Structure 1
Amino acid sequence: MTTLDTRAEPGTQEEIAEVVERTARLVDEHYVLPDVAARLAGLLRAEAARHRRERSWSTLAGALTRTLRSLNGDRHLGVRFHDRPLPEGGGDPLADDLPRMARASLGGIHRVERLSGNVGLVRIEPALFSPTLAGAAMTAALRLVADADALVLDLRETIGGDPEMEALVCGHLFDRPTHLYTMRQRDRPDRQFWSPAPLPGARFGGERPLAVLTSATTFSGGESLAYALQQHGRATVVGERTGGGAHPRTGFQVHPHLHLSVPVASPVNPVSGTNWEGAGVAPDVEVPAADAPAVAHRRLAAGA
């Protein structure tokens, strides 16, 4: 691997050409949709001359991202610029930052509240962190609302998540193991994700009314949880259509200042036979996100 200039300023045309080629190769090898991967790689190579005219690594990242999203709009696919050089040897700066984010957000438990009419509310923000990072916090929050007559799960600012945490949450909201989705990958066997069998301790369970709040900001892991609960008929989704990012990603360093995110899998819901990629999760009750808490509360309190 050739050592590239670590400056944030423009590189040489040869350096930029190498970054473009490396990006094309990695997308072609790893992107979850092989036919789209091949077309994107060809498009990157066809536009290499134009990309070589970019004036900085930052503008190159933006240009490459626009090209990568030009065919199917996959928002998990793109190149991000980092002002400070990334550590040698790769690593994923987004994944590496998760422990800090989890600590700073109390495990993603933004609010736990009892509303009038004995309606519980749990707001998750910014993400469904892995059970290793936040399982105890999530379990504590869900047990606090276990005796509510109805529950609001606020995912309006949930922009990502771990599938194991999604399964943990669903274990508190279903009364039996439930097949949430099958993750399909290019070069690995399919993997099924199920909610666990009910564990001892306080649980809200699978019978009482549940509303999930969404917004246009809700993305990725937040969408996955909302979609699973909706498709299984467990929850009413209230709010706005979500962002439409279903494909989980991995990362590659393509330059000391540039990190490439490539979706590598696609979840398939057992009820719908598909997912929310590109389309988002459509609410059952469509209202502006700001109005969703009050609308959901009224509906639950009235028994709707």
Structure 2
Amino acid sequence: MRLYRSLIGWLTISTLYAFGCAPVAAARPAAAAPAEASEPKRAVPPPRPPKGPDGPITAAEREQAIEALARELTDKYVFPKKATEVARALRARKKRGEYNGITTGHALATALTAHINEVLFDAHFHVRFSKETLPPQRQPGPPSAEDLARYEEFANQVNGGFERVERLAGNLGYVEVRSFEFPGRGFTAASAAMDFLAETDGLIIDLRRNGGGAPEVVAYLCSYFFDEPVHLNDLYFRPDDATRQFWTAPVPGKAYVGREIYVLTSKNTGSAAEEFAYNLQNLKRATIVGEVTWGGANPGDMVRLGDHFAAFVPTGRAINPISKTNWEGVGVKPDVAVPADDALRVAQVKLLEKQVAKATDPQAKEMLEARLRELQAK
């Protein structure tokens, strides 16, 4: 999903969870399409609460939304066999009159999401209702100057998704990344953060409130943690029948190598943020601390189903080059499982314990031990 489209054209209904797919230096094309048989096992995703005001719908609006959804899934959903199955089931329910008694938008969106996910089990897929008329579906092509200006303004307001950078006691680095949504401004913010933390003895990356974003920003930040090219992830997209590879690439400033990294997660860590944790975990470059993540690995697009309905249709899926699968439906499982609220303290304790063990200067060791006791007492 192109970032400006999700943020500007569909701001009222977009989840902003989905991976982006704009070109970047760290992405390389790959020709092979994965077999559908390698689809990962999935759990039923929890329902999403409705957003915005509810409103009445007509029978014609209900019919239009159902038929448009069946067509969009058949044409675009990443697993064609699943799409065919779900379109058949959807039309069978409609023929039996199961939707005839639904007269409000939120009720229909909730019912369609639940029924379709009985087949798809896809964390990203959902239907949304908007009481206000939705904007026309943007056609492929460059965004307008106005859209770009609004996008850049928002990216600057949120500092490219990088919320907080701090040097903690014991010379530990900490950075909270709230979103990977902003190529460009996100690259600048990532470089500034890593430059500030370049001389720390260990690093904590907090993704507990990060719902996702663009794989380009994931690849950019990951690039700081290796001193040679590393294959991070692949994304296969059904509409183009093409796979794109994502690799690390040279970055400005010093690479953050030879030091430990801890990544904090929660049940709200989603999509591209899950990719970041999954990449580093599979490459054995970071220790994941916290909770099992959300479980969404299929990127896609928000599609218009009529004046008042839209759906997020996953058109692609992630394929890790090491595991050959992804985290869809199961989430990223932490190496150290603790409640999300305790994750930062636990990561600090583990890093300080190792620093104490390595310390040779008595005064420095005493300071580290004092801070460690404080954290252990909490």
Structures share a fold, TM > 0.5? Answer: yes
Q: 1:10–1:54: 8 Å Cα contact kept in structure 2?
A: no
The reply to whether residue 287 of structure 1 matches residue 338 of structure 2 is: yes
The aligned residue for residue 65 of structure 1 is 113
CA distance in 2, matches of 1:88, 1:275: 33
The C-alpha deviation readout for 1:238-292, integer Å capped at 9, x for no partner, is: 0000010001111211022211110011111111111000000000000000000
The C-alpha deviation readout for 1:91-130, integer Å capped at 9, x for no partner, is: 79xx9886565334222111111111111000011x1023
The aligned residue for residue 162 of structure 2 is 109
CA distance in 2, matches of 1:186, 1:33: 8
The C-alpha deviation readout for 1:32-71, integer Å capped at 9, x for no partner, is: 1111111111121112222232111222111111122222
Q: State which drifts further: 143-152 or 56-65.
A: 56-65
CA distance in 2, matches of 1:72, 1:22: 17
CA positional deviation for 1:82 = 2.1
Matches within 5 A, 1:8-47: 9-47=55-93
Matches within 5 A, 1:117-136: 117-125=170-178, 127-136=179-188
Q: Secondary structure at the match of 1:147?
A: coil
The aligned residue for residue 217 of structure 2 is 165
Structure 2 residue ranges without an equivalent (≥5): 1-52, 356-378
TM-score (ref. length: structure 1):
0.90
Q: State which drifts further: 38-47 or 112-121.
A: 38-47
CA distance in 2, matches of 1:137, 1:200: 12
Q: 2:78–2:316: 8 Å Cα contact kept in structure 1?
A: yes
TM-score (ref. length: structure 2):
0.73
**What count of residue pairs does the alignment treat as equivalent?**
293
RCO higher in structure (CA 8 A, sep ≥6): 2
Q: Amino acid of the residue matched to residue 303 of structure 2?
A: F
The reply to whether residue 176 of structure 1 matches residue 222 of structure 2 is: no
Q: Secondary structure at the match of 2:119?
A: coil
Match of 1:221 among 272, 277, 286: 272
Structure 1 residues 43 and 103, CA, compared in 2 at 3 Å: closer, same or farther? Answer: farther
Larger radius of gyration: 2
CA positional deviation for 1:11 = 3.0
The reply to whether residue 262 of structure 1 matches residue 302 of structure 2 is: no
Match of 2:102 among 29, 50, 54: 54
- Backbone CA RMSD of aligned residues: 2.1
Q: Secondary structure at the match of 1:26?
A: helix
CA positional deviation for 1:151 = 0.1
Q: 2:161–2:182: 8 Å Cα contact kept in structure 1?
A: no
The aligned residue for residue 272 of structure 1 is 323
Q: 2:132–2:308: 8 Å Cα contact kept in structure 1?
A: yes
Q: Amino acid of the residue matched to residue 264 of structure 1?
A: T
CA distance in 2, matches of 1:286, 1:211: 13
Matches within 5 A, 1:187-202: 187=239, 188-196=241-249, 198-202=250-254
The reply to whether residue 246 of structure 1 matches residue 292 of structure 2 is: no
